[in-house]
Structure formats: structure tokens, C-alpha cells
Structure 1
């Protein structure tokens, strides 16, 4: 006898018995606590966004801090620069008045020679 001929009735009996028997079902009224792939991706993106935002805010705060330090240092330098600028402007005005006087003198001299 072949193997299939002897094994087939036994396999049919096992299959029939398992089909008739019911398996126990679990019953629960709580929500499933597993996250869907979309929710997992959203949580990951939120954490990455939060990390990037924190880094950006930190960079902005450092920039403001540096700007304030530069502004304070520039305030001291600005007052020095304003004093120097007014000094140079005064010298320029004096030199301009001197050259204006020399030009008038030359103009009068040339006018006198032409007459």
C-alpha cells in the first residue's frame, strides 16, 4: 500500500475535527494601544521639528546677544568716531575757507592786471 492511500482518511478526520471545533475569541472593550504607521511617522516628524525649532531659537538668541554686544562696543566707538568726524569736518571747513580766500585774492589780482 502507498503512503497516500493509508494517510488520506486520517488526514480527513483531523481536518474535519478541527473545522467543527471553535477556537476561543478574545473580547475587549478597550481601545487598541498600537499606533498606526501614519501616527508613528507624525510623532517622529514632531520630535524632529521640535529639535530643529529649538536649535533655531537658540541660534536667534545667540545672534541677538552678539548684536547687543556689538552695539554696546560700537556705541563707545561711535562717540569716538563722532568726535573725530567733527574734528575732521572743522579742519575741512577751515581749509575750504582758506582756499576760498586764496581764490578771491587771485581773482582780484587777475582783475587788476586786466584793467
Structure 2
């Protein structure tokens, strides 16, 4: 064997994944490296796998952002609800105090009316007593 063919044969024996093909150039002795069909398919599958996994990661990130947004809005709604509850409690307390004041006023007014009525009854009783004594 000549030196060139022997070195080419050694190179081909050492590299099992790459098929060496003579370049289609007339005035060159370089050898072009080409991949087999299975290696090309593996590379294509790796590329597709990588793109799919990148999209899945993007989807997971979007899901996490959506969950974070929902959690934030729920927390905000809880704070608003708590604020509304406090506001409603304050209004109810003010209304109950107002109604208690009105009830006290009505009670005082009724008490005054009762005293007036008692006074009128006592006066009428004294008048009746005076009339009864004078009639006797």
C-alpha cells in the first residue's frame, strides 16, 4: 500500500461516525467529511427535541406567571373585601348608635308625656275631690 492510501485507511478505521468521501474537486487531495443518514436523523431529532423543550419551558414560565398574577389578584381582592367589611361595620355601628339615640329620645318624650298625663290625672283627681267635698 502506498503511504497516502494507508493513512486514509487508518483515518477511516479510527472514525466510525463519519464517512469519508473523496471531494468532487479535480486538483485537490482533501477528503470531505459527511454524516451518515442515522447521524443526520439523530441531529434533526436533537434539534426538534431542543425546540420542543424550549417551548415547554416557555409554557411552564407562562403558567407560573399566570398563577402568580391570580394569587396577587386574589390577595388584592381579600384586602378590598376586608376594607369593605370594616367600612360596613363602621356604618352599621353609626346607624345603631343613631337608632339608640332616637330610642332614648322617644323614651324621654314618652316619660314626659306620662308625667304630664299623671299631672293632669292628679289635677283632675284633686278637682274631683274638691267638687266631692263641696257637694257634701
Q: TM-score, normalised by structure 1?
A: 0.45
Larger relative strand fraction: 2
Which is higher, the Rg of structure 1 or of structure 2? 2
- Which structure exhibits the higher relative contact order, with contacts defined as CA atoms closer than 8 Å and separated by 6 or more residues? 2
